Structure 1
Amino acid sequence: MSPFLTFKTFYTNPLNIEYFYIFLFTFLLALSLIAITYISGKIIKADKTHMAAMLLGCVFPNSGNYGAPVALFAFGAMAFDYAVIIMVIHAFLINSIGIFIASFGSEKSTTAREAMQRVIRMPVLYGALLGVLFQLLHFKLPPTIMEGISLVASATIPTVMLILGMQLAEIKPQLFALRYVNSVTVIRMVISPLLAALFVIFMPVSDTLKSVYILLAAMPVAANTTMLAIQFDVKPNLVSFTTFVTTLLSLLTIPLTIYILNMM
């Protein structure tokens, strides 16, 4: 369903300079979180595998299954469109930088070609590219086709919310060294939104986009990182547990974040 959602978003929303700023600052935030997590990992003396698990948890927020629905409910339809755009960028980062991070911490080697093949197989990316292409070419789809696309796209959010619940239901609480769990939790839930709040000061974009950018940066660990951790054997239990902990914590932090954003 996600390719239909991304196609509709990029097809119906006029392209402007905000798209450039979204990509630039999302990429800069990811690089900043990588640097902070690496320094934190060195301080707590994390080995290579634990470092990779921490990076997977700290850098990539759950902007799709969690962030987009919350943005819709909190700030409306325009905010949801912004959230979908950021979600596509995050998906690209997870399937490129995320793969290299997982490969770094694993005994299983991954070549640049294999990483690129995974990026190329992302259906969400094609939905976004087609939406942009059709808009630039002023290609008008018949109303009946758009109604079908909209119908599938509208079903995406309820479905991903169900998937998120199913993923969380499979997570089993386990014992881990607290220094790893605490580091990921603080960086993902506190430092990430604070950095985002700092970045938006320099973003000449709408207040709605600024709020969405900060909100998505405050999201818990992305559920998709667990799949990477399993695939490359990068402490999957630790990654899934930090996903569980940060998601539970978000029941308190996300309403607080929304309250603060509404007060600004």
Structure 2
Amino acid sequence: MNSGNYGAPIILFAFGEKAFALAVTFMVLQQIIMNFFGVYYAARGKDGIKVAIKSVFEMPPTYALIGALILNLSNVSVSGNLLSVIEIVGNAAIPLVMIILGMQLANLKLGNFQWAEISYGIMTRMILSPIIAYIITITLMDLDPLLRNVLIVASAMPSAATTVLYALQYKTEPELVSSITLVSTLVSVISITVLLNLVS
């Protein structure tokens, strides 16, 4: 789910600063899961389990996470100069992902869309996910109402551009993944509006 670039600002505008902090925390956890399991499943699609596990350990975010945990647990402070470099590289990430997604979308032809698969992806991402999140947060967890709303809305976000990068990298149907990302983002204009009115 695109709980970062797309989801966090929507949650900020809909629910305020406190909700935004919760959304960012959720986004970080979701990105960690995506960088491990997303890479694993994308790589496993063509090359098998051994290559998939190797691919996870070839990804820079794996080592960034390990390094961050070590620094955090050992209370080591990072110099301002290093943080400035990390911030510059981080700021370049989103535009770079958007360029790659745009290049992939430029190659798509509407007549080649696999509408059955796209519809399944849209139903799962935009409808089933928030319903599951609602059921879990209402029946299985005693959550603060604000946190519950953040999780439900974040779960209803469209497919993230990161999935397109993984699909391209590991050659696992990038055209289909790109088309689901495109259509789910367009559909979200209506679906997120409706959902925000429901949870409000």
> If the length of structure 1 is used for normalisation, what is the TM-score?
0.61
The 8 Å contact of residues 43 and 55 in structure 2, kept in 1 or not, is answered as: no
1:245 to 170, 174, 183: 183
The 8 Å contact of residues 96 and 119 in structure 1, kept in 2 or not, is answered as: no
Amino acid of the residue matched to residue 180 of structure 1? E
Matched with 2:40 is 100
The 5-angstrom pairing of residues 12-91 of structure 1 reads: 61-91=1-31
| Stretches (4+) displaced over 3 A | 119-123, 125-134, 162-170
Amino acid of the residue matched to residue 204 of structure 1? D
2:162 to 224, 227, 234: 224
Q: What displacement does 1:177 show? A: 2.6
Deviations 1:8-62 (A, max 9, x none): xxxxxxxxxxxxxxxxxxxxxxxxxxxxxxxxxxxxxxxxxxxxxxxxxxxxx01
Amino acid of the residue matched to residue 59 of structure 2? R
Deviations 1:60-108 (A, max 9, x none): x011111111111111111111111111111111111111211222248
SS at match of 2:158: coil
Amino acid of the residue matched to residue 188 of structure 1? R
Identity of aligned residues (%): 31
The 8 Å contact of residues 100 and 165 in structure 2, kept in 1 or not, is answered as: no
Count residues with an aligned counterpart. Answer: 187
2:195 to 227, 248, 257: 257
Deviations 1:106-159 (A, max 9, x none): 248724243134265464x3697479648xx6x999xxx7xx98xx69x96xx9
Compared with structure 1, are the counterparts of its residues 117 and 191 closer, same or farther at alpha carbon in structure 2 (3 Å cutoff)? same
Amino acid of the residue matched to residue 112 of structure 1? I
The 8 Å contact of residues 197 and 214 in structure 1, kept in 2 or not, is answered as: yes
Choose 84-93 or 219-228, whichever is displaced more.
84-93
SS at match of 1:106: helix
Aligned mates of 1:140, 1:105 — CA distance in 2: 40
The 8 Å contact of residues 226 and 240 in structure 1, kept in 2 or not, is answered as: yes
Aligned mates of 2:147, 2:67 — CA distance in 1: 22
Aligned mates of 1:169, 1:221 — CA distance in 2: 15
> If the length of structure 2 is used for normalisation, what is the TM-score?
0.78
